[in-house]
Structure 1
Amino acid sequence: MRVFRALRSLARSPRLRLVVILGFGLLVLAGCAQATNDNPIPGFFPPPAATVQGDDTSGLYDLVFWIVAVIFVLVEGLIIYSIFRYRRKKGDTELPKQTHGNFALELTWTVIPIILVLIVWVVALQVQDKVLAESPDPAVTVDITGFQWQWTFDYKALGLSYTGVGADGPTMVVPVGQPVHINEHSNDVIHSFYIRDFLFKRDVVPGRVNSFDFTVKEPGTYSGQCAEFCGLGHHQMFFTIKAVSPTDYQAWVKAEQAKAKATPSPAASGAPGAEVIKLSAKDIKYDQSTLTATAGKAFTIQFTNEDTVPHNVAIFQGTDATGTNVFRGAIVQGGQSATYNVPALTAGSYYFHCDVHPTVMFGTLTVK
């Protein structure tokens, strides 16, 4: 009864009707605001697709949206019209003529939805075939591995590999206008490879290799992240896809391969009998959160990674990672070990962490 009273009040008050109409109009306009790179807040429409496959997805979205929008406006319009056109007036003492059943009308509202659903189904199948199609000869193949809580990008045919550290994650460089093939792997739990501007998301499932292709249309930098909650560090699983021209891509490959083959500078080594600190990682945590070293003398960290995911050790002055970085060890893959030769440090308190898992793997190094 309260609902009907409110509707009657609305029908009798022109000012109240105007407020409701204006409020509804503002909501519609706000929802129509389209997401862009400068304005990532999504509206009714997705951002412009950055890939060829994304164009097909966007076209399907537009078709479904406008079908639903027309149905919504038609149904709501008829409801609102009926409320005002057939509301009870003063002096009405009898019910108006009642109509029970209308075959033509019922047939219409049954057949039209069936036709619309069949149209959407056929178009969706066509789009699915295009989005899931894989090139027999992709220009680039990248194996991505999701783990708690970062990504590794392996260009196996090129001998290049990148594991994300910190909040930004790794960067995948790909050529524009050429098919890129992705193989997904997970070392632990379910993750999800999501790039907003590609209009695409694919789960990364343990024990299963999911694969897909994409072709970027224009040079640019596109942000991605894990879209499946995977634990405490889920919010840190970001990555970047950088699309460049084919010429620039080949130049990047040559430069990275040359860098990988270059003989690294010898690390500072401790003197004979130098202090040795043993540190291991397991279950995404160090076995020790406090370490001690002697001031003014180089020392060695024998680091063992007992996990299945990459770790390392980086040391900073002060109480957190905002201090000066005085040492950064190479990333050690799961099940492997490394010897870090740390140069002599002055007396004081230092902070150390794993670059791959900085929020959960950290500790204090006291030099005295």
Structure 2
Amino acid sequence: GTCMEYTNSSESMLPIDPAPAPLDKFVWTISSSYCNRESNLASAAYWMQFINIVIFFAFLVRIRQFQVQTAKDVDQSKITTSDYSVLIQGLERNMPADDYVDDQGERRSGMVSRVRADIMKALVEMDPKYTKERVAKEVVDIEIGRVCSKEVQQLRRLKALKVKEQELTTKVDDCKAKGKDELCEKRRKELEAVCDAKEKVMHELDRLREEEPDKTTGHAFVVFLYESTRNQFQSYHMPSPGRRTLDNLFPEMIYEPILKLCGCCCQPSQRNQWESAGRGGVVKVLDAPEPDDVIWENLEIPTSWEQWRGLLTFIITLILLVIALFLIVLLKWGQSTITATSVAATEGINLSSEA
């Protein structure tokens, strides 16, 4: 090895030949520059590990930029419903989605009407040529995010029961054709139980639709007649340059909680005051996702909760990387300490043997 050299205690230089007892064929060269405990190689290894961690984080940032650019390229390569739509976030939560009558018998505007009024006000501020008739024509549809987890759960149960009903119906018909009366009776009872369960699910669905008013989740999908109108409306609510840079580098769930804590000025642009805005008064107008990518029941999850969970995941990942770096440095330090101790002990033995 580089930290050992041959002695003159043996005539043979082959490593496999034994040395005359009690001497060793090799001795430690602790004073050599390579094996010197004062060498900078250990500290260089530590710094290389640190540089590896920095490169890894830079790689994550680069991956984020690549994802954003790829999403834009894919979106521009095909025409879908999302090209004519925007997603509005930051609206008031847990309020009636549709117009309703209050306890005093007065008719109140729901979230759909309030969002439509805010969009009209924004379009008029953008271009005074917009009239009520033109807005009604160019704003094709407004779909409000609604609290629907209970309905979705019942719909999934209904889907499973319908599949089960079709299977049992086929089995009953098959039993009748083969003349298996006992098996037919068993299948028929199972079919009746499934039909009863399906009726209960449909009754629960009707109750949820009629008795419980739809509550909002703070989201709205707006579909425009022309893509140019959609682009103009979205550009009018474009976030600040600093925030756009952050969007290209990091997911919103990572930097948004930090901005809120620090009170940073990189906030979304808010040129007009939306009456339908929720707590905080800031409404974001974003690119609408593809219709198949929308999971409606997940819209009930508060955006702040998603952001804090994302930040927590990022912090835990960072802590694990720091711990891994610390363990590597600690192990290398322990290895060098043990090696130095062994070298000193072996050198002492060699000196005593030669003496």
TM-score strictly above 0.5: no
TM-score class, shorter: under 0.3
Please tell me whether Structure 1 or Structure 2 has the larger radius of gyration of its CA atoms.
Answer: 2
TM normalised by structure 1 equals 0.22
Higher helix share goes to which structure?
A: 2
Which structure would you say has the larger RCO, counting Cα contacts within 8 Å and 6 or more residues apart?
A: 2
Higher strand share goes to which structure?
A: 1
